[in-house]
Amino acid sequence: MNRVVRYRESGNRLAERILLLDNIPANVIHDGGRLRFSADGLLYITAGDAATEQLAQDVASLAGKILRVNPDGTTPRGNPFASPIYSYGHRNPQGIDWHPASGDLWESEHGATGNDEINVVDGGANYGWPTIEGSRTMPAMREPMTFYNPAVAPSGASFYRGQRFPQFANNLFVGTLRGTHLLRLRVDPASRRITGQERLLEGQFERIRDVISGPDGLLYFCTNNRDGRGNPVMGDDRIARLVPAP
């Protein structure tokens, strides 16, 4: 099982351990694993299907879901199933972040053989796995904003909120593992559509696990080459940052 635990930092140590959420199905793959607070202070958690496809459609299971809880672990009053479940039908959800202008929740997700997805996530919506993926559609199931064949293995995702790169304003950045690049997506918040894409740093750092817009306006990312799937070089794994050209 996976669980979500809260600690308080005290004197550079972790203290005051509190269990917030337990019994999230786990496996050696498809565990999701991102935690992020929304602007209203609620905690969102990505949970993969634990390599058991049918759990993604079962709203009695926490697997294959995006979960939402209060900071103390209780279920928010507005959750659609009166449980920690916020959305369902996910295979292996990865990065999540909210568009700075619209407030929409965007998500990156691993597909099966290809069909990696970028989704806009609404509460109570069904994102189809394992019934549909990629270009397939079915009533009452959501299709992705875009998908990738062959697979790029999208991982952590963040919108750029800084001022140092004006051309990146409100763009969604996604680290890719198999793709070995930093994916830049230009998004129209009104239509909730992707209007352009660019692959940055392709092949330069191998597997990129996560990316975030720093408080200094720079863009930070981390590599993941020492997990047995990458090709580590001297200095891996590392945290790196993009800075404006002089």
Q: What is the dihedral of CA 35, 6, 59, 175, to 10 degrees?
A: 10
Count the Cβ atoms, other than its own, within 10 Å of residue 107: 26
Helix (H, G, I), strand (E, B) or coil at 126: strand
Q: Is the peptide bond before 58 cis (omega within 30 degrees of 0)?
A: no
Does residue 201 have a pLDDT over 90?
yes
Q: What is the pLDDT of residues 115-145, one digit of tens each?
A: 999 999 999 999 999 999 999 999 999 999 9
75 pLDDT above the threshold of 90: yes
The verdict on whether 30 is a catalytic residue reads yes
Which pLDDT score is estimated for 33?
A: 87
The whole-number average pLDDT for the span 85-94 is: 98
Residue 103 banded pLDDT, cuts 50, 70, 90: very high
Tokens representing residue 89 in the block: 């039908």
pTM of the model: 0.96
pLDDT above 90 (res 146): yes
Looking at residue 110, its pLDDT comes to 97
Report the mean per-residue pLDDT for the chain: 97
Greatest alpha-carbon pair distance for the chain in Å reads 54
What order of strands is seen across the sheet that includes strand 182-188?
154-159, 172-176, 182-188, 193-200
37 Cβ contact list (under 8 Å, min separation 6): 43, 44, 71
Annotated catalytic residue within 30, 90, 110, 181: 30
Q: What percent of the chain has pLDDT over 70?
A: 100
On the question of pLDDT at 32 being above 90, the answer is no
Alpha-carbon distance of 221 to 214, in angstroms, equals 10
The average pLDDT across 208-236 equals: 96
Domains in the chain (CATH in brackets) are 152-246 (2.40.10.500)
